[in-house]
Structure 1
């Protein structure tokens, strides 16, 4: 079990930089999906090791944004160029267009639920820290400082596990609409 837990961290370590700073050849959405999926495997495995019941999160209500129409249109056009009768013949270009279609769907999800996902993360962090970070990025820095301060004692290990699991679930929701291949989490078998 502990080997499995260690292995789940390898995707984030190997692909994290490609997700944070992708270059033109990066298949961003595949890398994100691998990282987010194995991050969930990690919190699930740690929950099993520590015998902690992990929470779920609710599916946020979809809200339209100012850029919803053009981003959804971009996704539709990219999909039409990469699959089906209207798809182009070049296999590599088809692959790249499909990857960009997934990025457009991710952007559409960020418009639809991004604020709610960020607020959920900030609400959870507020409960842990006792204050609300000003925005999601500040919250990331505040969380990192908290984790580093707790590293020697592990006083908050269970609380952090629950917090990270909820964050992982929410991040996964941003990959695409519910039911899509990108946003479907397939838990591994338990080791119990």
Structure 2
């Protein structure tokens, strides 16, 4: 068939047959299903990557806040103790608005999160002087404060992602990351 005979055939046909419509519908359905599957897979991967990015960004912000406050330990308070570490809590004492300002960082449990006890995240709260506590970080697995030297505090923060990753085999699909920062205390009279 040449080009003119194809055009005559197409002009003479009165429509498509039911079989052609069914084949076209089936092909469209297969292509749509493949496209939807690809989209949902990419969307879930995007959400997981966003969770990981948020986890990293939030933990860096928490460490910056803790380091900034901890560096003030001992500022203009004379012989008062500059800081107290009590398990996963940190008291920092310095002079800013009162003779001795007190900043307390501690972990708070989630209420009814529905996760097993070993996977339950916590929130980090801060209380300044006698004010109300403020929860400013969440999805924290653990925090620890150690004193490697007389003028240094090491802060170790373990955070977790919000969602579980079905492709991640460790830790029941929950991605965790530990960040550590050493803070030099420059206001101590040692």
Q: TM-score if structure 1 supplies the norm length?
A: 0.29
Report which of the two has the higher share of helix. Answer: 1
Q: Compute the TM-score of the two structures, normalised by the length of structure 2.
A: 0.30
Bigger share in strand = 2
Higher relative contact order by CA 8 Å / sep ≥ 6: 1 or 2? Answer: 1
